[in-house]
Amino acid sequence: MFRTGSKEALGLNYLIIGASAAGLAAAETLRQVDPNGRVAILCRETRPYSRVLLPHLLAGAVEERDVFLSVPEGVELLGGKEVVGVDPGQREVAVSTGHAFPFDKLLVASGASPVRPEVEGADLPFVFTVRHLSDVRRMRERVEKGKRAVIAGGGLVSMRVGEALHGLGMEVTLVISSDRVLSRILDRPASAIVERALAERGIEVIKGDEIVHIVEGEARLRSGKRRKCALVVFGKGVRPNVGFLQGSGIEVRRGVVVDERQRTNLADIYAAGDVAEAMDIAYGERRINALWPVAREQGHIAALNMAGVPAVYEGSVARNTLEVFGLPIFTAGMGREEGPEVLREQGKGFYRKLVLDRGVLKGVIFVGRMANEGLYLFLIKRKVDVSSFARPLLKNAFGYPDLVYRPLCPSCLG
């Protein structure tokens, strides 16, 4: 959600750190609005690719060539260069080779990296995270049908990797420190449905435990349990890549703090994507919503402002659309939260929940088939009072036509 103004092109030297969704979206926009400017992207990889597709590549659902991303024409890709520091005073970015790159305007779109707990044995060759293309290449070499994979974590990445490895013929154990799966996006009833679906597929879920030691061919847990395995995968979430900003003066909390124009606290330096703390509409506070479309939106807004075109980013809403072994799940906003204005219904194989605040839709959880996901997202973003038609919304019996015609006949719906 954003608003824009207009201004003439400036012909500046734009430097972007990171070649994923936010960085590439920014590069595309800069090429359009300032054709005379120089746009360069610093990238640790030699060629950009979609990390979202890595679990699908692991599963064999896509080919490796399908994961690579195109760099906009006229944009210089400076690949194989890891950023180690930013000097705002000198307007330079230093890389690991010892070189420094100047900028007039800088975008930090460095993304995030997997959290890898300090576990003895975590450096063994059969232990992985899933963030880089090289991780998937090496992991596929170690897949053995009938052998076990132990996955630390019960979040989105763990679900996708677990399903991929199960589809490749491996036995799968999920070890989660919390008391339920997908605890960051689902409430307890929804998690319980997912856990039943996992059990039906033979996926072992060990809750309230964690891996503390890994030896060749075995993962050892804090509880004393042990699991023989051919693979160990850590899927314990991600952490924004902000280490290289230390000493730069750029304000960092969990991620880089930005305003409604994606500006940091320092002039001519912007941030976007999984590294940026921007406004979350549902929560009404700055949060990191690490989602591909959000990153692209933020990259676009940052680029417009970098090029002198006034643009305001009104915020995003966290949302997830996925399937866990064929079980559809949609979440948006504050769906996992509880409170006095919560509507829910549950039946065999489905669960629906709406979270309201004084009638305004704040969050949604749907497990099972549904339609019109975009409508629910729209209602949250626009802060619509849905109290008069909340019941049809809960039953997923309310669509865009209903929203359009409701003012003409309020009593016809709800």
Read off the pLDDT of residues 217-260 as tens digits, 9 standing for 90 and up: 999 999 999 999 999 999 988 999 999 999 999 999 999 999 99
Q: Is residue 47, in this structure, part of any structural domain at all?
A: yes
Q: What is the CATH number of the domain that holds 356?
A: 3.30.390.30
Residue 12: the pLDDT is 80
Residue 402: the pLDDT is 66
- Does 148 lie in the same domain as 103? no
Q: What is the CATH number of the domain that holds 190?
A: 3.50.50.60
In the listed set 209, 234, 259, which residue is the last one of a domain according to the structure? 234
In the listed set 234, 258, 287, which residue is the last one of a domain according to the structure? 234
Question: Over 17-56, what HEC string results?
Answer: ECCCHHHHHHHHHHHHHCCCCEEEEEECCCCCECHHHHHH
Distance set, CA 34 to CA 86, 176, 309 (Å): 24, 48, 10
Number of domains in the chain: 3
Q: Is residue 120, in this structure, part of any structural domain at all?
A: no
pLDDT single digits (tens) 317-353 = 999 999 999 999 999 999 998 888 999 999 988 999 9
Q: Is residue 193, in this structure, part of any structural domain at all?
A: yes
- Does 81 lie in the same domain as 132? no
Q: Is residue 121, in this structure, part of any structural domain at all?
A: no
Residue 42: the pLDDT is 97
> Taking a C-beta distance cutoff of 8 angstroms, is the pair 303, 33 a contact?
yes
Which residue is listed with tokens 């899933």? Answer: 130
- From CA 59, how far away is CA 207, in angstroms rounded? 25
Q: Is residue 352, in this structure, part of any structural domain at all?
A: yes
Q: Is residue 328, in this structure, part of any structural domain at all?
A: yes
What single-letter amino acid sits at 332?
A
In the listed set 313, 337, 367, which residue is the last one of a domain according to the structure? 313
Compute the 3-state secondary structure of the chain and give helix, strand, coil in percent, each to the nearest 5: 25, 30, 40
- Does 257 lie in the same domain as 108? yes
Residue 9: the pLDDT is 44
Residue 205: the pLDDT is 98
Name the stretches of the chain with pLDDT < 70: 1-11, 400-414
- Does 67 lie in the same domain as 138? no
Residue 401: the pLDDT is 63
Q: Residue 203: which domain range?
A: 127-234
